[in-house]
Structures are given as structure tokens and as C-alpha cells.
Structure 1
Amino acid sequence: MAVFTAVTDSQLTDWLQHYELGEVVDFRGIASGIENSNFFLTTTRGAYVLTIFENLTAPQLPFYLDLMRHLAHHAVPVPDPMPRRDGALFGELNGKPAAIVTKLDGAPELAPGPAHCIEVGQMLARLHLAGRNFPAYQPNLRSLAWWQESVPAVLSHLSDDQRGLITNELAHQAAFFASDEYRLLPEGPCHCDLFRDNVLFAHPTADETRLGGFFDFYFAGNDKWLFDVAVCVNDWCIDLASGALDRARVDALLRAYQTVRPFTPAEEHHWNDMLRAGALRFWVSRLYDFYRPREAEMLKPHDPGHFERILRERIKVAPPPAHGN
């Protein structure tokens, strides 16, 4: 969520005439992230986030915004897109599609413990089940086809060892994705990017912590639910320095998830394959963003080596997931 496209006060004032959100009280850019231009917007009616979409096109946006609205209306705590006066959930600002969503309470928990993982696991399963009757379909745009397209663009920047690792893993995942067992894994709308900084926790009292909600759905798509869980575990349940899994947090998150939606036998069998898929997806994207960067006012590219380490750890074979009962 960097700032690629600036917005002046007069541009904001003119654009807000399309909404019934009151007068502007505060407006400022959000520095974290790398994909869209995001701003905190406070008005006399409430607190919101304004997003200008740098890569997603107007025809693609309804999936993401309608999914968020669907989940919000099914008791999943996510940002709710605000309709314009004409009923549309987005418009055009500075020549690009843009939307306003409600701002959730809380702050990210960047050093989570098992208790945080329990709340995340349960809510992720609820999100998956709530999405079953969502009528629209959008594939995960950062899945296998994108990996196959992007890896050749970064190979020249890698060492021989890294090139061997990434090409071998890409071949492994292509074979996995082509298998009958993969095809039969349960699927539906997924967040696909549920990292620590995309989840908020509120603290109503000194001794109480509650999940504030999930946000940043602009990588969402239909995928295997197990992939969504693996992406989450690869961030929430690891030692950040080494990439190794923290068994206590893994058990907490997976047991909590499975109290809501138990894994199928095929999901248990392919758990490590999917952990590797999740690691590869983000190693590829971080390599691409690092070596093929776009200009931004507040861009902070992530270290590609982090997910290289995670992938190497997962190839060592992770233990099977704990059962939910």
C-alpha cells in the first residue's frame, strides 16, 4: 500500500461529491505495501480507506469489492465498500479506478502468539465457508500461470543455486497442480495474502485482545482453500529469521481452523506441497518487485531472501497438520 498516484486536496474534494460521506477531516498516505495507492480518509461521517488501483482494471474490480461486501454482510469482519450516489462501488480518480471502504479498528500484531493464531484460524475458516455462495468467479491471478510467466524475468539476477531451486520447485508445483488430487481439493474465494500486516487486532481492555478484521483483499481470488491456509501459516507461524515453522503456533492456527472446517484426507496429504506453493508464490513476487520495481513516492520493497529461506525450509518437509478435534 504505497503511494504511486498523488491526490491533491481539490481533487479529493471534487471526487467526494460523488459520495455521501460528509466533509474531509484528515487525509494522508499509507506507506506500507507495494501494489496500490492507499490513503487514510477521515470525514465527519467516519473513518475510511481510499484506494487507487494501479494494476487492477475497472472490469476486474467488481469481484474484489463485491466479495468484500458479501463477506461483510455475512458477519466476517472485513472493510465494507462504500457506494457512490449512483450505487457504484468504485469510480475514476486521476484516470484510475478508485474506491472507498470502511476502516477497521485495531492494529496489526507483528509478533503473534498462539492466541492470535487461534483467532486468525477460526476467522479464515469462517471466511471460506461464507464465500461458498458468492456468485462471482475470479481466479487467483498470482497462481501457477503467473509464476511461469514471471520466473524467466528474474532468472538472470539469481545465482546458479537459486536458479536450480526456483526452476525445480516450479516444475514440482506444475506437476502437483496437474494432478487429479489437486483438482479435487476444496476451493472457493480466498484472501490469498493473509499476512500479519493484513489483520487487525483491537484491545478493548488491557487484558483483552479481539480480532478487528482482515483487510487488503486486492490479491483475492478463487483458489484452493488449503493454499490460503498455507500462505497464512507461512507468515503467522514461523521464526522470521530462519523461516522455520513454530509448532505451537502452527498447531494453534490449524486446530482452530479445523474446528470450523476440518481438512479432507487429500488436504492433509498435500499440506507440505501447498506450504511450498505458498512460499514459491511470494518468493517469485518479491523477486519480481525487487528486480523489476515501479516508481512510487513511498515504496518499500520486501526482501526476496525471506521467502527463499521459507521455501528451503518447507522442502525439508513440514510435519502434517494437527487435527481440529
Structure 2
Amino acid sequence: MRSTFHKGENASTLFPVIQSLLSPQALITEVLSNYDIGNLVECKLLSHNLNDTYLVSTNNYQYILRVSQAPRPAGRTWRSVSDILYELDLLLHLKRKGASVAVPLARRDGTLFGTVNAPEGQRVVVLFTYASGEPLAPPKQTPLLSALYGRTVAEIHEITDDFVSAHSRFHLDLAFLLDTPLQTIQPLLTHRANDWNDLLQLANLLKERIARLPIQRLDQGTCHGDAQGGNAVLSVGKMLTFFDFDVSGSGWRAYDLAVFYWGMTLGKSRLGWDNEQVERLWTAYLEGYLERRNLSGPDLQAIPLFVMLRHFWFLGLHTANWDYWGWEEINDRFFDRELVFLREWATQWLE
């Protein structure tokens, strides 16, 4: 076979990559060997996404190894080291307070994370306990499960009222959830100027409506950030164990509730649900939450507005990561569907 290298090229030079896929065997020898977890049997890739997730098995237990993204250009960076350390502090706080969550494991040197010098840059690696049980996802939600889900989110809010971390973390505010997403959405709608103008008008209208709220009266504190009906497992004892706090941060608690409402509402376009089914699940969730924690009138008024805020963040998540997932993830069909969601929700709640 003829060489594909041209004259003057250096075969030893690494070609630039966006995100590498780390060898499971190398992770066993170079990363997992730093943990005192017994005899390693297997390490296999579960998902190649924003973060790469591996299932680690020993003779007696299973664990989850998460490899974070390397630093990326502004507007696209997923998590800094400080962001990650905040998340780990939060998980350990929840565990100390009795919450059922997947927690990070310390390495032999006492640290909670390691780093890997991947071709695209330094990537942070964390080993977590494995959340055993039946995985939940929005399609599996029932009114009974939704109520349990709501009670558990309320518990997380309650026991994190006193949470503090020495590490800085992004805030779940308008800048993070709306302004930054708009920056990554705009370049991908240059061929759809009318849609971009509509989107910008919706964003401005949403800001105006949020500004009318008594913001200072809204409950604020630590949020899971992605409790959309999944990211939890149901144990035999009918208890939920939450994991994936990668989007957690300080913000409006009403936003955390809106994420679930958003997840159920997506069931109409994703699963063929009707309005009655969505509202039944949302009502059960809200009743479950209120069994454990009170909500003020302004918090309840904010929830529908924050559903839209969540969808702007969702659009920004995809448009900031097209280079990972491929252009087909954000083609015209994607924008057609997602803009319909925003327009219909705005018609119902903003206009």
C-alpha cells in the first residue's frame, strides 16, 4: 500500500483532534490503578457524549468513570476544574446529609480526581459509586413515580440550603441559560434570518416577563439542574438515587422544577403524549414536591417562564457541541421542531 503522507510531512506529529476516545485498557493501568477498589475485571465505554462514561467492574462492585471534556474555546467550554470540584463538594454534602446519590471516590493519595493528557488537552477523570436500580427516563414516568421524583428533588433542595463550596461554579441565571446559548445559536441560523429574529424577540419577551417577577422573593439555592425525569434509578425499596449533577449549580429552585415540566412537555413531540398526560405527570410531581417543601406564589408563577428558559439552554447545548455530535444533530429538522416548541409555549404562557 502506498503511503498517504506527502513529502515534508512528519509522521510522528499528532493530528489535532476535537475529542479523543480513551483506551479502556489504558484507563485500567494508568487511572484506575490509583484507586483502592480491588481486582479490576473490566472497563468498557458506556457513552461518548459531552463527557465520556465508562463502566468499571471488579470482582465485587461496579463503578462509573467519567472523563470530562478538555478545555474548549469560550462559549463552548463545558466544565472547568473549579466547576468539577464544586460538583464533587455538593455530592459529598448530599451524602453526609443522608441523600441517596452517586458520590466520587477518593484516590489512594486522597484526591478526588485525576487528569489525563489527551491529544486535545488535559481531561479530568473522576470515579463514582454505581447507582443500582431500575434506570428512570421521562418515558417511564407515571404519576406515582413523578410524585416520588418531586419529593426527592424537594429533599435535595432542603438539605442543600446550607451547602457552601470553596470552589467557584457557574450560576443558573439568565446569562448562563439564555445569553450564552443565543451566542452559539446565532451562527447556525444565518440562513434562517426570520427564525433568528423571531427567536431573539422571544428571548427579549421572556426577559421582560422574568423582570416583572419579584425575583428577590424566589427561592434560590443549589439545583440539580437536569432533573428532567431521568438521571435517577429506582431501588427495590422504592427509593430514588440521583446521579449526573454535571449541570448542577446555584440558581432559582423554580427553574429546577421547570426542568421536569419541560421534560414531560417534550413528551408531546418525542413520544406522542397529549396535554392531559403531560399535566397529569406534572401535577403529580408538583404535589410530591409540596409534600416536602413549600413554594411561594411567585415561584409557581415563574415555573412556566423557566420552562422556556430551559429550552433556550437546550438549544445552546446542541449548537455549542455540533462539532462533537455532527451537523445532522442540528439540521433544519432540528430547528423546525425546537422552534415550534418555543412558539407554542410562548403563545400559551407569554402572550
Q: Same fold (TM over 0.5)?
A: yes
Partner of 1:144 in structure 2? Answer: 174
Q: Which amino acid aligns with 2:320?
A: Y
Partner of 1:127 in structure 2? Answer: 156
Instruction: Give the length in aligned residue pairs.
Output: 307
Partner of 2:3 in structure 1? Answer: none
Partner of 2:14 in structure 1? Answer: none
1:78 aligns with 2:101: yes
Contact 1:188–1:223 (CA<8 Å) still a contact in 2? yes
1:227 aligns with 2:242: no
Partner of 2:316 in structure 1? Answer: 284
Which of the numbers 225, 234, 250 marks the counterpart of 2:282? Answer: 250
User: How many Å separate the matches in 1 of 2:318 and 2:340?
Assistant: 13
Post-superposition shift, 1:80? Answer: 1.1
Post-superposition shift, 1:155? Answer: 2.4
User: How many Å separate the matches in 2 of 1:11 and 1:131?
Assistant: 33
Partner of 2:92 in structure 1? Answer: 69
Partner of 1:22 in structure 2? Answer: 38
SS in 1 for 2:112: coil
Give the structure-1-normalised TM-score.
Answer: 0.83
Q: Which amino acid aligns with 1:96?
A: R
Which of the numbers 120, 130, 135 marks the counterpart of 1:103? Answer: 130
SS in 1 for 2:238: strand
Give the structure-2-normalised TM-score.
Answer: 0.78
Gaps of 5+ in 2: 1-18, 70-77
Write out per-residue CA displacement over residues 185-223 of structure 1, whole angstroms, 9 at most, x where no aligned residue: 111111111133412224x3xxxx824421111111101
C-alpha distance 78-237 of structure 1, shift in aligned 2 (>3 A)? farther
Partner of 1:275 in structure 2? Answer: 307
RMSD between aligned residues: 2.8
Post-superposition shift, 1:108? Answer: 2.5
Q: Give matches, 1:1-325, under 5 Å.
A: 4-31=20-47, 34-54=49-69, 55-94=78-117, 95-106=122-133, 107-109=135-137, 110-136=139-165, 138-140=168-170, 143-146=173-176, 147-158=178-189, 159-176=192-209, 178=211, 181-202=214-235, 204=236, 210-236=238-264, 238-241=266-269, 245=275, 246-289=278-321, 292-294=322-324, 301=329, 303=334, 307-317=338-348
Deviates more, 1:8-17 or 1:82-91: 8-17
Post-superposition shift, 1:293? Answer: 2.1
User: How many Å separate the matches in 2 of 1:63 and 1:268?
Assistant: 28
Gaps of 5+ in 1: 320-325
Partner of 1:322 in structure 2? Answer: none
Contact 1:49–1:102 (CA<8 Å) still a contact in 2? yes
Contact 2:24–2:43 (CA<8 Å) still a contact in 1? no
Write out per-residue CA displacement over residues 54-104 of structure 1, whole angstroms, 9 at most, x where no aligned residue: 042223221001101111222222111101112211111343211101010
User: How many Å separate the matches in 2 of 1:284 and 1:229?
Assistant: 20
C-alpha distance 79-151 of structure 1, shift in aligned 2 (>3 A)? same
